[in-house]
Structure 1
Amino acid sequence: MAQLSMRGWHSLKGQISRPWRRWRGMVAALLVLVFMLPLGGCSLEQFAKAEANVPRLVLSTLSDPKTFNPILSQESPNIFPWTFEGLTGTDGLTGDVIPALAETWDISEDGKTIVFTLREGLQWSDGEPLTVEDVVFTYDVLFNPDIPTNGRDSFRIGTQGLLPTVTAVDERRVQFSLPEPFAPILRNTATEIIPAHILRPAVETRGSDGTPLFLSTWGTDTPPAQIITNGPYRLGQYIPGERVIFERNPHYWRKDETGNPQPFIDQVVWQIVGSTDTAFLQFRSGGLDSVGVQPGFFSLLKQEEERGNFTIYNGGPDLGTNFFFFNLNQASRNGRPLVDPIRSRWFNDVTFRQAISYGIDRDTLINNIFQGLGAVQTSPISVPSPFFAPPEMGLRTYDYNPEKAKELLISAGFSINGSGQLVDPDGNRVRFTLITNSGNRIREAIGAQIKSDLEQLGIQVDFQPLAFNVLVDRLTDSLEWEACILSLTGGLEPNGGANVWLLDGALHAFNQQAGPSQTPLEGWQAADWERRIADLYIQAAQEIDEERRFELYKETQQLTQEYLPFIYLINNLSLAAVRNTVEGVQYTAIGGAFWNIHELQIAED
């Protein structure tokens, strides 16, 4: 499932597939791409209340978590890779689907029935048994139309968007019955399982507004001890604006080959920092265990590897996507247009969008901002995915060509006035507001360059970085915005991005419909190409043959490059610096540094 990412949308909300949402670190979704950075602006002395000698991994994140409820989560990074697991998981090295809470599964010959067998003796972090009842409950909640969740989109099957039926077979087996074969089902069952014994009352009880209390359950104001988990860690402490501390879950199911309980690291600390610069400085000071390597920091960190006792890992092309996009929503709410009608006419003109794409200097972005550590991005599908189609397969590309951009604008009726300003056929100056999340140095630099590039076309861009949670609210709730720079999490399975491309998907950000509990929109409409992409995603999920699936996804990539609902920018390399005291790291773009957190250990300096 795509998620909005504070690093790149790698957080709106998965696209990596649902399993990747857990370690994309997203996920990347409208919202962007996932990034976990080590400790920020506070000294380790602040952790004096914690036991001084326990094995501890210290990381950082750019902003506070938005929810402790995995079903309601719409952004990445989030706490759930550390605290929850699903029936299946993902091997961070190979990308293969692997057992998690389910030890085995059997698929019928017609591909329409999957029976999962749970591991024996599974427990929640409070010591209560984890059973098939919890699995059935989780999917009842996920498929409940009264509960808004990005995860539901990834399970819609066929043109009618039917959902699987999930039933208990016996004490350890649970059955998924599908209306037709569904290729992504095993990856999607990495969906986090939640505790029925804790959350069922909140689902069955409605508040004064008629919505389930579940919608306000497990918010970030919930005491950590009340968050019951099944993953390697439980929530130990949360101080808003400062840190999140995860404690080892004593009831976690994994053991090593000699029977020792895992994970081996007792605590994981997220320091909440305001910027990537702060995280970088804290890492260099020697108190942090890992940092995502921003391109501008690479050269300096590379010189310090030996002295600083760390290794810079290069996982190759990142799973996420970076993009610029316009709000194409032509609807109104309570009689008021979401987007000014004059600007909306510009944004919905494909020639205008193509001109903007030609007007962005991606090579300069790569050289100046990414320090050469990246390549031009041409697709919504992750480069490491077997379904990625390169430009050589007929995808349209947009090399920097301001003269071509001006020609397109003139052909669409725009002109340059005597002051060098671009105006539309009615004489309105072309000017719009561009937003992104503040604190992300790379994204803020991208915004500044796009502003400069488009000035060469006579366009005034008012660039306005916002706090990440404010940004997410604009994109998913109010829907009142004009242009945005973000990223989405990515993954090997394109259907993880179904919530971006289905017309009513929770992250159909460029033309978002109102959510179930939101004030409805008037006059919402979709373009023919938009409907075709949605249909292709449905067909590709129905198709079992991998070659045919590739052809369907190739057509979606051709359409996205022709009509530009997202104007893709740069695919950066997946880089992270990790202290050599963290033993057992197997770094990849797929899983990052900590996909195998259960077997990592902290060595003494």
Structure 2
Amino acid sequence: MAGTWVTRGRQIMALMLALAIGLVSTGCNPARFAQASVDVPRLVLSALSDPKTFNPILSQESPNIFSFTFEGLTTTDGISGETVPALAESWEISDDGKILVFTLREGLRWSDGEPLTTDDVVFTYDTLFNPAILTNSRDGFRIGTQGLLPEVSKLDDRRVQFTLPEPFAPMLGNTALNIIPAHILRPTVENLDAQGNPLFLSTWGTDTPARQIVGNGPFQLAQYVPGERVIFERNPYYWQEDAQGNPQPYVEQVVWQIVGSTDTSFFQFRSGGLDMDNVQPDFFSLLKREEERGDFTIYNGGPGLGTNFFAFNLNRASRNGDPLVNPVRSAWFNSVAFRQAISYGIDRQTMVNNIFQGLGQPQTSPISVPSPYYAPPELGIRTYDYDPERAKELLLADGFQYNSTGELLDGAGNRVRFTLITNSGNKIRESIGAQIKNDLSKLGIQVDFQPLAFNALVDRLTDSLDWEALVLGLTGGTEPNGGANVWLLDGALHAFNQNAGPGQDPLEGWQAADWERRIAELYVQAAQVIDEEERFELYKETQQLTQEYLPFTYLINNLSLTAVRNRVKGVKYTALGGALWNIQELKVE
């Protein structure tokens, strides 16, 4: 399971909470787009919610703006999944695997025209590794049982060296980390605010004027109107060009329209003025019938990379003397038998049939199905077919009981009831939550289902830690170490049992289960191993543990489907890269 809000296939697989919505065209009336131009090659895309930050180091969501505005030393080929050059034209790895030397392309520049050198690379990694800066990406670089970080040093203006304490299999792919400009941001790291925190933590928020954001990607930020749109313009200093020497990208402008729901995206795509839409399962049949008339193509990338899951808050800690989770409910949630009963009580096949319209299958692993490290059920991975009677047996054996009206009570007579949250506007997740509420009612459990705005949801997961149960998803990738920030005990996305982050009030009484510690150990070991067969066996054990102890209860793996207007040329669609991984090559007629 991995995911930072997956874009252009070049992520470092540092996991982040995914909105799991598409970038789609939404503008039927050009007058709505203010500075958007109808006279240049343009893509109009959309997302459910506003961006949360313009700072790539601090980003915790997908989709985000950074696939357009920033690049790393390397990227991921959206077809092969291999690591390929980006800002770096080449690299060398020592025989012992501990030293990597990257050579930057000649003449690289930032979108403001300033030179991009190895000073920027060293600054970026120094910032990422700064313990005062909370970021999801750092966990993916921690090496060995001590969690050591690479040393990054400048050899000259074009060569930078990474020195590792030991061989680290994910390191090359990790260098897709977005490089940020030292000449703009260095003072914000070195200077502190009144609370003693680096100014960097509040730099490049979404209140920053768009033109002040300096990047190195194919586009630069041109305008942001909250609640309406983000406009990108082609970066005139972008390094890439075609075989004839023509500068790329060919698309002059990208308009990212902010919509409120996946239904809105669908209706606007179907109206004929849209460029792309992630195909929601309940609209697939209708769109498929309209492909020829609507002059678009539905691309099917096969099993998607992401995960959909249900989870309980297993955190038994307190903050300032107050338990994060009601102790009565926390006792239920921390019972393995209770979690297994819930899993048996969820009807995944009905989800596949009704919510996903047959375009998916039950999910059994945190590791993406297309990954070579995915272990199918045939290799001893536990599954949970719908079996409400088995669920009730587990509950009764665990000390729960039923009253005369069929309500489930714990051993002390407390009604089993909890609040389930997800991000509003995502129709699939809202439907999943509604079905879970209905399924668990058949076990005598009352579920109070409350969709929340995505930013409010993220705040609960990362700041207040005030939640009981959720339905959410994580983006994925082929390298499981992208999930390190989920499975390491102090990982920034160890959401089911999150510890306090830097600058937050500490927790009292935080503890980890033995199986939780074992999964963390396995992720460390698997990153230390170079042999692919040995790595597979280590990751297989993690999948056995996650399915036995259910920190996340996995639900459905859906197909990767996107509808794209035929006027968009050069699309090379895959589940790994989507429709935009090669955006610099796309042309719009």
Whether these two folds match at TM > 0.5 is yes
**Do structure 1's residue 579 and structure 2's residue 565 form an aligned pair?**
yes
Contact 1:93 1:591 in 2 (8 A): yes
Contact 1:33 1:490 in 2 (8 A): no
What is the match of residue 51 of structure 2?
Answer: 65
What is the match of residue 8 of structure 1?
Answer: none
**Do structure 1's residue 386 and structure 2's residue 372 form an aligned pair?**
yes
**1-side partners of 2:28 and 2:561: how far apart?**
24
1:38 is aligned with what amino acid? V
Q: Which secondary structure does the structure 2 equivalent of 1:323 belong to? A: strand
**Do structure 1's residue 246 and structure 2's residue 232 form an aligned pair?**
yes
Report the more deviating stretch, 521-530 or 50-59. 50-59
Structure 2's unaligned 5+ residue stretches are: none
Contact 2:47 2:258 in 1 (8 A): yes
Post-superposition offset of 1:19: 5.8
Contact 2:526 2:535 in 1 (8 A): yes
Q: Which secondary structure does the structure 1 equivalent of 2:457 belong to? A: helix
Post-superposition offset of 1:226: 0.7
Q: Which secondary structure does the structure 1 equivalent of 2:272 belong to? A: coil
**1-side partners of 2:25 and 2:165: how far apart?**
47
In the TM superposition, 1:141-160 aligns within 5 A as 141-160=127-146
2:273 is aligned with what amino acid? G
**Do structure 1's residue 434 and structure 2's residue 420 form an aligned pair?**
yes
**Do structure 1's residue 456 and structure 2's residue 409 form an aligned pair?**
no
Q: Which secondary structure does the structure 2 equivalent of 1:432 belong to? A: strand
Post-superposition offset of 1:468: 0.3
What do residues 449-476 of structure 1 show as CA deviations (whole Å, max 9, x unaligned)? 0000000000000000000000000001
**2-side partners of 1:361 and 1:431: how far apart?**
19
**2-side partners of 1:524 and 1:42: how far apart?**
52
Contact 1:27 1:320 in 2 (8 A): no
What do residues 156-193 of structure 1 show as CA deviations (whole Å, max 9, x unaligned)? 00000000000001121000000000000011000000
**1-side partners of 2:161 and 2:291: how far apart?**
50
What is the match of residue 452 of structure 2?
Answer: 466
Q: Which secondary structure does the structure 2 equivalent of 1:463 belong to? A: strand
**Do structure 1's residue 315 and structure 2's residue 301 form an aligned pair?**
yes
What is the match of residue 305 of structure 1?
Answer: 291
What do residues 112-133 of structure 1 show as CA deviations (whole Å, max 9, x unaligned)? 0000000000000000000000
1:248 is aligned with what amino acid? R
What is the match of residue 341 of structure 2?
Answer: 355
The verdict on how the C-alpha distance between 1:19 and 1:306 changes in structure 2, with shifts beyond 3 A counting, is closer
In the TM superposition, 1:523-534 aligns within 5 A as 523-534=509-520
Q: Percent identity?
A: 75
Q: Which secondary structure does the structure 2 equivalent of 1:71 belong to? A: helix
The verdict on how the C-alpha distance between 1:320 and 1:198 changes in structure 2, with shifts beyond 3 A counting, is same
Out of 61, 67, 92, the position equivalent to 2:78 is 92
**1-side partners of 2:422 and 2:14: how far apart?**
16
Post-superposition offset of 1:517: 1.1
In the TM superposition, 1:500-579 aligns within 5 A as 500-579=486-565
Contact 1:63 1:272 in 2 (8 A): yes
Post-superposition offset of 1:41: 7.7
Post-superposition offset of 1:418: 1.0
The verdict on how the C-alpha distance between 1:81 and 1:283 changes in structure 2, with shifts beyond 3 A counting, is same
**Do structure 1's residue 443 and structure 2's residue 429 form an aligned pair?**
yes
Contact 1:20 1:590 in 2 (8 A): no
Q: Number of aligned residue pairs: give it.
A: 589
Out of 225, 228, 248, the position equivalent to 2:211 is 225
Q: Which secondary structure does the structure 2 equivalent of 1:516 belong to? A: coil
1:534 is aligned with what amino acid? A
In the TM superposition, 1:18-167 aligns within 5 A as 20-21=10-11, 29=16, 31-32=17-18, 34-40=20-26, 43-167=29-153
Contact 2:27 2:33 in 1 (8 A): no
What do residues 105-155 of structure 1 show as CA deviations (whole Å, max 9, x unaligned)? 000010000000000000000000000000000000000000000110000
**2-side partners of 1:27 and 1:108: how far apart?**
25
What is the match of residue 276 of structure 2?
Answer: 290
Q: Which secondary structure does the structure 1 equivalent of 2:38 belong to? A: coil
**2-side partners of 1:217 and 1:359: how far apart?**
46
Post-superposition offset of 1:2: 4.0
Post-superposition offset of 1:52: 2.4
User: Given the two structures, how large is their TM-score scaled by the length of structure 1?
Assistant: 0.96
What do residues 349-383 of structure 1 show as CA deviations (whole Å, max 9, x unaligned)? 00000000000000000000000000010000000
Post-superposition offset of 1:49: 3.5
Report the more deviating stretch, 327-336 or 41-50. 41-50
What is the match of residue 491 of structure 1?
Answer: 477
**1-side partners of 2:28 and 2:566: how far apart?**
22
**1-side partners of 2:382 and 2:427: how far apart?**
29
**2-side partners of 1:365 and 1:343: how far apart?**
27
**2-side partners of 1:498 and 1:129: how far apart?**
34
User: Given the two structures, how large is their TM-score scaled by the length of structure 2?
Assistant: 0.98
**Do structure 1's residue 423 and structure 2's residue 409 form an aligned pair?**
yes
**2-side partners of 1:405 and 1:342: how far apart?**
20
Contact 1:3 1:75 in 2 (8 A): no
